[in-house]
Structure 1
Amino acid sequence: MTAYAKRSILYWLLLGPFAIVALFPYAVMLSTAVKPGDEIFVFPPTWVPSRLAFENFVEMWTATGFGQALLNSVLISLAGTIISLLVAIPAAYAMARLRWHGQGIYRQFLLVTQMLSPIVLVIGIFRLMAAMGLVDSQWALILGYAAFNLAFATWMMSSYFKTIPKEIEEAAWIDGATRFQSLMRVFLPMALPALAVTAIFTFINCWNEFVLALTILRSNEKYTLTLQIFTLVGGAYKINWHHVMAATFAATVPVAVVFALMQRALVKGLSLGSVK
């Protein structure tokens, strides 16, 4: 047995228990989602249902307005991600290429903002949105999500922009390109993997957010998926756990699809910048 094979076996033995613990909630979720309702609380509990109750997904979809909530989450998350990236890209370019007084302090300020939880700022954000007349408006969530992810996106993109040789940009200037043209035609094509990574994490942050959505939204037809699933548990006298788990499983599918489609760009983007 080679040394590489021994290390692989050792890593599997060390990481296997952690993987089991991490995947256990998903196994419970999937098992409950496809169980008939009368088999969920049987004792002793069973993992494998007597039959696959796919009607749980149909009943959940029609009874809870899941389709509208899914559409709301997709639109809000996409809009928040796009606005955040549109602002973060020029800001990241400025941090990577321009020099000004207090730049180091500003970079540290961006890091500090990532230490604040949205729940700490939720009262101030609500008062701001109320003053702007955006309570119970999906635009309030879009602007809030874009603002919350702006510092992360700027930091990620600026770190990668610094790895692009300045000589490439200077060559574009010699050919008559402006800074904006060099950003669009030189930086962004070379930074597509890093841009993909930033977009994925920003989208996931918007998709999973709950506190701000709970504070801002009032109308059921404007609910995001996190709020819609919460109503199945927090606002019901009787909890149909097979519907809750079916909704939770369905809510993870779009994120899984995004990861599957952009997996190669994600891995490449995470490794870029490690070797200059």
Structure 2
Amino acid sequence: MTAARLGPSPFRVFQYVCLAVIVVVADLPLVWIVFTAVKPDTEIVAYPPTLYPHELTFQNFTNLFAISDFGTYLANSAVVSLAATAATVVLGTLAAYSLSRFTLPGLRWVGELSLFAYMVPPILVLVPMAQLVNRLGLANDRTALVVLYTATLLPFALWTLRSYFHGLTVELEEAAMVDGCTRFGAFLRVVVPQALPGIIATAVFTFNAAWSEYLFSATLMTAPENLTLSPGLALLMDQTGVYSWGVLMAAAVIVVLPVVVLFAFVQKFLVGGVGQGAVK
């Protein structure tokens, strides 16, 4: 009888057990947040605490939008994140394709400097960025966040897509140009469809970073009507006095849910896009 028919080896079973433990430890806080969001306050503060809600309620979600401008924060984050993601992906795709296909003097150093810019912590450039935004008259304007998010996330998109484009064959582009396509036409019709998994993976990670960003939004957006979700959630803690944990957990669920749903729908593109972009 072969080893394959005897079942998985003890080492493989040990790997599965370790993986299951890691998944449980990583997901348990999220499960606790979801269950707390649908518990009444009396059950949340009860001792001993309960994991599963004995009484299911969605009043915390209703109270969240009643006592705060959370709907405004949600709309601001959606607009800013989608705009920054679109700008980053478009510019990053064009720049990455140029770096992978053209050999102009100094072009390589541009790519190296962009990687260095990505490694700089945002807090180091917060003060000069704030001064620049004020001088341009964009203080307390969501347009400033779109520009800043695009500038800070563009190096990541550039290097991820550049590695991906390096792995794509050039012969198909050349064949398309022989058949009458321009360089840009071959890029749109041949290169972009091949690079779609990498582009989608880059867009998802870019959206996640813009959606959860706190530093620039909390510093540059002082008017409540321009706040995004992360500083809005911190403001909500002050408004509730940190006594309504159900409302806070309901807000946390709403913040996390779009990203979780997005990752669930595009997970196959993430595995292919990030994996190929890392090794090519």
**TM-score, shorter chain, exceeding 0.5:** yes
Q: Which residue of 2 aligns with 1:38?
A: 42
Displacement over 6 Å in runs of 4+:
none
In structure 1, C-alpha distance between the alignment counterparts of 2:118 and 2:157, rounded to whole Å? 11
Post-superposition offset of 1:232: 1.6
Q: Which residue of 2 aligns with 1:244?
A: 248
Q: Is the 8 A contact 2:161 2:277 kept in 1?
A: no
Asked if residue 185 in structure 1 is aligned to residue 189 in structure 2, the reply is yes
Q: Which residue of 2 aligns with 1:5?
A: 8
Comparing 202-211 with 234-243, greater Cα deviation is found at 234-243
Q: Is the 8 A contact 2:163 2:279 kept in 1?
A: no
Percent identity between the two aligned chains: 34
Correspondence list, 1:65-144, <5 A: 65-144=69-148
Q: Is the 8 A contact 2:163 2:278 kept in 1?
A: no
For structure 1, the 5+ residue unaligned runs are none
Asked if residue 257 in structure 1 is aligned to residue 261 in structure 2, the reply is yes
Post-superposition offset of 1:4: 6.4
Q: Is the 8 A contact 2:198 2:277 kept in 1?
A: no
Post-superposition offset of 1:17: 2.5
Q: Which residue of 2 aligns with 1:209?
A: 213
Post-superposition offset of 1:225: 1.2
Q: Which residue of 2 aligns with 1:227?
A: 231
Comparing 86-95 with 127-136, greater Cα deviation is found at 86-95
In structure 1, C-alpha distance between the alignment counterparts of 2:112 and 2:227, rounded to whole Å? 35
Post-superposition offset of 1:236: 4.9
In structure 2, C-alpha distance between the alignment counterparts of 1:79 and 1:215, rounded to whole Å? 20
Question: What's the C-alpha RMSD, in Å, of the aligned pairs?
Answer: 2.0
Please tell me the residue identity of whatever aligns with 2:8.
Answer: A
Q: With the length of structure 1 as denominator, give the TM-score of the two structures.
A: 0.92
Q: Is the 8 A contact 2:38 2:58 kept in 1?
A: yes
Change (3 A) 1:235 1:54: closer
Post-superposition offset of 1:128: 0.9
Comparing 82-91 with 8-17, greater Cα deviation is found at 8-17
Equivalent position SS for 2:8? helix
Post-superposition offset of 1:237: 3.5
Change (3 A) 1:71 1:135: same
The equivalent position to 2:22 in structure 1, one of 15, 18, 23, is 18
In structure 2, C-alpha distance between the alignment counterparts of 1:4 and 1:269, rounded to whole Å? 32
Residues 71-95 of structure 1, C-alpha deviations (whole Å, 9 max, x = no match): 1111110000111112111111111
